Amino acid sequence: MGKNIAFRVRQWHKWLSLIIGAQVMLWLATGVYMVVINLDFIHGDHLVQNMAARLGADYEPSVTFQDVVDDYPDASEIVLASWIGQPVFRVRSPAGSHLVDAETGRQISPLTQDDAIAVARYHYTRTADIASARLLVDAEEAPTEIQSRPLPLWRVDFEDAGSTAFYVSPDDGSLITRRHTYWRIFDFAWMLHIMDYEERADVNNTLLRISAGLGLVLSVLGMWLLFFSFRRRRGSLS
């Protein structure tokens, strides 16, 4: 009786191993990558600078807040800030976000290609050349690495070893996000790990739950077979 049960368990274990074994290996491999590589490095913290630049405490803009209010009467927020080393007003209104030169009152946004490149260079810690700069407007053509971030966005690519890309908002001139080779590998590993092959975000999808359940059953059957083999060996020795 015990041998028949063991035979059936071995068969189940074998077939489950064939079904879920490859995914278990992917879980292990991707898990190792995501744990071993420093997360700050993955996020490209070493590639960016000047993210918290501020104006001097005694700075007085040539354009007053009232001037900006007069130009943007529907504004919900007006903030004096530093943008790539120059004073600007960041204006938010129902019509969107705007960037206004604090010295001339000129609206800078939407950013031109040269503006986007200037933002990328200002925040980039290295000295690589610019490979390309293009405005992303079509969600179907946008790379998956920007995830659900709203378009349009400027993508500025650097000619460096990590194929670094900076994404810049054409509306408020801010650096939205960045990507490099190791982060892209991380994103791909994360996709394989959570088994969400479209959005790469759902950690509670049906495929993952089924695979995790099968993986648990596989482990339990393996432990039972190990325990059974020890008992058989102990019985034969006695």
Burial class (CB within 10 angstroms; exposed 0-12, middle 13-18, buried 19+) of 237: exposed
Contacting residues for 232 by C-beta, under 8 A, at least 6 apart: none
Q: How far is residue 23 CA from its own chain's centroid?
A: 23
In a domain, 82, yes or no: yes
In a domain, 200, yes or no: no
Rounded Cα distance between 209 and 207, Å, is 6
DSSP letter (8 states) at residue 197: S
> Higher pLDDT residue, 226 or 152?
152
- Per-residue pLDDT for 231 more than 70? no
Q: If you average pLDDT over residues 182-187, what whole number do you get?
A: 97
In a domain, 12, yes or no: no
In a domain, 128, yes or no: yes
Contacting residues for 164 by C-beta, under 8 A, at least 6 apart: 44, 47, 124, 128, 157, 158, 178, 179, 180
pLDDT digits (tens, 9 = 90+) for 5-38: 766 777 777 877 888 888 989 999 999 999 999 9
In a domain, 138, yes or no: yes
In a domain, 219, yes or no: no
What's the chain's average pLDDT?
91
| Structure confidence at residue 237 (pLDDT) | 47
Q: If you average pLDDT over residues 38-43, what whole number do you get?
A: 96
CB-CB contact of 111 with 154 (8 Å): yes
Domain range spanning residue 49? 45-179
pLDDT digits (tens, 9 = 90+) for 81-112: 999 999 999 999 998 999 999 999 999 999 99
In a domain, 68, yes or no: yes
% of the chain at pLDDT higher than 70: 94
- Per-residue pLDDT for 233 more than 80? no
Number of domains in the chain: 1
In a domain, 2, yes or no: no
